Amino acid sequence: MGMGLFGGLAIVLAVIVGFFLLLTLLVGVVQAMAVYFVLVSVLMILVVLVQKPKGGGLTGAFGGAGGGGGPAGASQTAFGSKVGDVLTWVTVASFVTFLTLSMFITWQIKAEVAEAADAPPIHGFP
């Protein structure tokens, strides 16, 4: 009997949190968040590029075929019949993570700048 979906997600989440804590101890909070920001950005780009287009978009507006082409009844079966749903959820999760990280990075940088402005000046420098 396997762990199931939630057991697997819990392990993945624990590994990500552990890696983040280790990275934070090594390089600092802002740098660790910046690394995650780049990784999430690349993940989101790749997931969006892999998805099958659902509508005509600009292609349909300019007279193109749109909708992904292929035979009428064909579906994406490389990773199973529900790959579109999984990719949609991964896209949404990566987008929410992208926005959250961008807000936290901004707040952390503002706090560091304010802290540096309150620091006493170094002697010998004007």
Kindly report whether the global pTM for this prediction surpasses the value 0.95.
no
Residues 15 and 19: their CA atoms lie apart, in Å, by 6
| Domain contains 41 | yes
| Domain contains 94 | yes
Burial 106-120 (b: 16+ CB within 10 A, else e): eeeeeeeeeeeeeee
Residues 10 and 16: their CA atoms lie apart, in Å, by 10
Q: What is the domain count for the chain?
A: 1
| Domain contains 101 | yes
| Domain contains 68 | no
Best CA proximity match to 56, nearest among 48, 46, 66: 66
Query: Which pLDDT score is estimated for 95?
Result: 93
Q: For each of the chain's 126 residues, which pLDDT tens digit applies?
A: 456 666 777 787 788 888 888 888 888 888 888 988 999 999 899 888 888 776 655 455 555 555 554 444 444 445 555 666 778 888 888 899 999 999 999 998 888 888 877 777 777 665
φ, ψ (nearest 5 deg) of residue 121: -70, 155
| Domain contains 106 | yes
- Which amino acid is it at 31? Q
Query: Which pLDDT score is estimated for 125?
Result: 62
| Domain contains 72 | no
- Domain of 40 in residue numbering reads as 28-52+78-119
Residues 96 and 14: their CA atoms lie apart, in Å, by 19
| Domain contains 86 | yes
| Domain contains 5 | no
